[in-house]
Amino acid sequence: AEELKIAVGAMEISDKTVSDVMTKVHVRESEYGGGESYCNDVFMLPSDTTLNTKTVAEILRMGYTRIPVFESDRNNIVSLLFVKDLALLDPDDNFTVKTVCGYHEHALRFVLEDTPLRVMLEEFKKGEYHLAMVQRIVEKEGHDPLYEVVGVVTLEDIVEEILQAE
Ligand code: ATP
Ligand code: ATP
């Protein structure tokens, strides 16, 4: 516990923000020249995904506990799917991600990428949620600012940063 206190102290003065430790959503041009394609380190699902044997197997194979769910585009995150929500599902029912998320309504939280790690850690310590969507504000002349989803951050990302700082 003493060691952790020291480490937290070290981190507090290190001035890092959420964007330094988050898992990024990467967007890049297609290598095949066929227009734009998205390559995401963050594993997300479209809300209209049907949860059949094939898609459930793929979700399990990814190994993540919490999966952001989007509607129509990746900046429009509407809920989180927890892998444990799939446990009692009958794949033959062909429910959609949207339906399953509707049963559970896990807390969905957004933070800005420049949120200090110290502040994020205090948030996670409250225990209400363990993964936050990270957003960036994109200013466009003549328009309201847009929020772009740039990553996810979890307690684990912060703990890793603390251990590195030691
Ligand atoms: P848990 O350990 O609570 O079962 P987990 O292994 O899914 O959950 P964490 O341990 O919280 O996730 O985080 C491990 C790493 O995975 C972190 O770097 C986090 O940013 C990243 N991560 C979490 N969820 C996703 C996701 N859906 N897609 C990509 N990366 C993720
Ligand atoms: P307005 O006040 O112009 O009516 P609004 O209340 O709908 O807009 P904002 O005040 O811009 O929205 O943002 C409220 C919260 O919603 C912010 O904390 C922001 O993080 C979140 N938010 C806004 N746009 C998005 C989006 N596209 N995806 C996810 N979260 C968003």
Atom of ligand 1 nearest to the CA of 130: 11
Q: Which residue's C-alpha comes closest to atom 13 of ligand 2?
A: 147
Q: For residue 5, what are its two tokens?
A: 């206190």
Query: pLDDT digit of tens for each residue in the chain (166 aa)?
Result: 777 766 666 656 578 999 999 999 976 544 434 444 445 589 999 999 999 999 999 999 999 999 999 999 999 999 999 999 999 899 889 999 999 999 998 999 999 999 999 899 999 999 999 999 999 999 888 888 889 999 999 999 998 888 776 5
Spatial distance between the Cα atoms of 119 and 123, rounded to a whole number of angstroms: 6
Sheet of 45-46: strand order equals 45-46, 66-70, 77-82
Place of tokens 């049963």: 103
> Which stretches of the chain are assigned E, i.e. beta strand?
23-24, 27-29, 36-38, 45-46, 66-70, 77-82, 110-112, 131-138, 146-154
Q: Which of 41, 66, 134 to mutate to test the pocket of ligand 1 (most atoms within 8 A of CB)?
A: 66
Q: Which of 140, 147, 148, 149 to mutate to test the pocket of ligand 2 (most atoms within 8 A of CB)?
A: 147
